[in-house]
Chain A
Amino acid sequence: MMNWKRISRATMLCTTAAVALAGLVGSAHAEDKKFKIYLSLSYSGNAWQSEAANIVKALAATPPYDKQVELIEVISGTDPQAQISAYESMIEAGADGIVTFPISSTALNRVIKRGCEQGVKFFTYDATVTEPCAYNVSYITAGFGENSAQALVNELGGKGKIFLSRGVPGNSVDKRHTDGAMHIFKQYPGIEIAAEYYSYWDDRTTQQETAKALAAHPDVDGIWAQAGEYGAIQALQDAGTKLVPMTGENSNGLRLALANPDMQAKGLKGVSAGSPPAQSGYAFKLLMEILTGKRTLEATNIEYPLPWVPAASVKLCEGETFENGCNAFPDGKVPSSFVTEVFNPELLPELSLLSALEGKPTPGATIQPLPAEIVKAPNEPGINCQNCEPPADLYKLTKIQPTVSP
């Protein structure tokens, strides 16, 4: 019934004809096969996660990548098992590369190793894995915890009651931040931790948990917060008495508040640092440079620089991008929970607000090459390597010096 020979011969003829014809037209790309790249998220639904994903989508749609990449997004939720099966499917589907926010630093190792053996390149952003064949692109090792804790201690003159607003219980990132912060706080006997609570890196949860802590300790002197920090400011405002020195991550709300003279007068001081969604874009561009042969790089841990914006350095942007050293957007342009560190004039000049909010490419932009050198991250057991030794100066301060002695 089916004459396979004939069909295959016809197909071959057709293909040959098509290729020949294309060659005649002159638009022939023998390598016109698009790279199959997967974007694997664990959970979505907060500003940070969706901005990080939007950046990758925007870059994949920016010329010349728009002709070179087929990008497929998969959201697998908070269960490691679901992300393991997502990776499995991607490997089966012949992925060239997987850019991913891994839900666990250890649970995914086996499937990643299997993928590496099949030639798949794994690039993690922000969160990391300890499997050595993966490329980790993360700011985690850059010392958010210890630097922000020292900044808070400096503001408080080395003594006072503080709250710790942490992230997700049991998460390796939360643990690394808190360990770094505690390394500093423990040196100052005058610092008393009045309340410690988990806020799940979420504004609203932070606001409610901080409100509860304030009910018990209205005399708090400072707050050390991870992402969600804008909720802590709002809880202080709801209580209506005063603002206090605090640290937090990169929400536009915190940056505007730090630079606001009225809030400064009420006692708000501090620094905005923390996790940049821009890491995902850097990871994706590195992956593409390797795939397109522009860069040779063996699997390694790459450190993304820690954003560091004290109140005095907050500068409003006029337009849709970070230019002239600006690092926050005017009120009303973005929601207060918007994470501003989606841009990086050096690494990601292609991006604008449109990219971060909607995943659309900036009109007229083309992909610019990355700087040649990368910064290698130090070893951190359980974070980016197994059975390894951390450096002796793991918690060394890089952004700030103590102004009060313990």
Chain B
Amino acid sequence: MSVSEPKGAAFQASADLRRGGGMSRETTNAIIVFGLSILLILGSRFVSPALGSWSQVLTVLMLASFLIVLSFGQGLVILVGGLDLSIPAVITLGGVLATGWAGGGGEWYVLPAILAICGLVGAFNGFGVTVLKIPPFIMTMATSIILASAALGYTSGTPRGASPAAMTALMKTTWIGIPVVVYFVVLFVLAGWLLQSRTVFGRKLYAIGANDQAARVAGVAIGPVTTQAYVVSAICAGFVGMMLVGYANGATLRMGDNYLLPSIAAVVIGGSSILGGRGSFIGTVGGAVLLTTLGTVIAAIGLEQGWRTVIEGGIIVAALFFMREEFFARLRRPKRN
């Protein structure tokens, strides 16, 4: 089989899956990133004897949980050919509202309302991108600036309140020796994978990303479906804001700042095309775990801050190079010469 048409790759991949034979590119990719993560955890024993232990695995999963939830939403937006730069601001929004409205007490029922507000922000993004035809990165950046200012005004700089009890329970309790958040992430990954790969909604996203003209002809409502992707992304970001509040017992106005690039990098390292139309959530999860593992190992080496960033960037570039379509095509195609 030849993969010369990138546009057809998604359908090709699903065809693979349907035939049950052969492995789709997405699956190979996911296996590779997970394999790398495991190798990295085992290999990190050479860096520090304490690494590679069960407790390090738990630390990595705990730290990766934020990125996994985030990059699911970012992944859907990238899948339809967009990009969501408002993620850091929505994280802050979710966090600040969670501490401000539900903090301290047990008013868990406020949390869904806050997620709904975050969803509205996503709808606003979708509206700008699909109806006003504003390029996604400009639209979501504008939203981000508006939200950051709103959060600064709402808190006058100092977010008040504490973590809602429900979020503290999620982030701070363990069950049979494993943090509850790890179980949550496993369920989340399962649900996310089902939504992206096994539902009509997911299929429509792939179709739009692969070729929106063709999707329109096929009867996909481009505007609403694209908007839904942005809504999911914003809800995910808002929820990560709440998770961070549970983790750090409080909100700050800069709490989302360090998550924008990793959320995109996890998606792309996981084998999704930055141009849309191709990718799998399982690959993205692998990307998120790989990035987080990398962070802990590099932290353990004890390098200067500058070198750390250089190495992280270098590894992302290398990963992207090897995850390119051509590279896979070459692997799959027997050489004929």
Contacts and interface: CB of A to CB of B under 8 A. Distances in A.
B158 A332 contact: no
A194 B49 CA distance: 13
A51 B252 CA distance: 13
Interface stretch (A39-47, A91-99, A181-189, A367-375): A39-47
B157 A335 contact: no
A357 B160 contact: yes
Nearest to B57: A215
Contact of B62 (A46, A238, A332, A357): A238
Interface string B227-269: 0000000000000000010011110111100100000000000
Given A46-B253, A212-B63, A215-B56, A204 B299 contact: no
Given A197-B299, A211-B59, A45 B253 contact: yes
B156 A216 contact: no
Contact of A44 (B60, B157, B162): B157
B63 A208 contact: yes
A338 interface: yes
B92 to A, nearest CB: 9
Given A211-B63, A332-B104, A357-B158, A231 B248 contact: yes
Contacts of B306: 169
B252 A46 contact: yes
B250 A203 contact: yes
Contacts of A332: 104, 162
How many interface residues does chain A have, given as a range? 35 or more
A336 B248 CA distance: 10
Contact of A212 (B244, B248, B253, B299): B299
How many interface residues does chain B have, given as a range? 35 or more
B156 A358 contact: yes
A215 B296 contact: yes
Nearest to A360: B156
A213 interface: yes
A9 B214 CA distance: 76
Interface in B132-186: 152, 155-162, 172
Interface string B294-315: 0110011010011000000000
A interface majority secondary structure:
helix
B252 A45 contact: yes
Given A195-B302, A197-B299, A215-B296, A47 B158 contact: yes
A212 B295 contact: yes
A196 B99 CA distance: 31
Q: Counting chain A CB atoms within 10 Å of each CB, which of B62, B248, B249, B255 scores highest?
A: B248
A54 interface: yes
Contact of A218 (B50, B247, B255): B50
A53 B300 contact: no
A108 to B, nearest CB: 22
A300 interface: no
Contacts of A205: 258
B51 interface: yes
Interface string B188-211: 000000000000000000000000
Given A53-B157, A207-B247, A338-B158, A213 B299 contact: yes
A44 B59 contact: no
A349 to B, nearest CB: 22
Contacts of B248: 203-204, 207, 231, 234
A194 B302 contact: yes
Q: Counting chain B CB atoms within 10 Å of each CB, which of A51, A211, A335 scores highest?
A: A335
Contact of B299 (A195, A218, A336): A195
Nearest to B99: A335
A335 B296 contact: no
7 contacts: A46-B253, A47-B158, A51-B158, A209-B299, A212-B299, A216-B56, A336-B250
Interface of A: 44-47, 49-51, 53-54, 169, 194-198, 202-205, 207-209, 211-219, 231, 234, 238-239, 332, 335-338, 357-359
Which 3 residue pairs across A and B have the least CB separation, nearest first? Answer: A50-B157, A216-B300, A45-B253
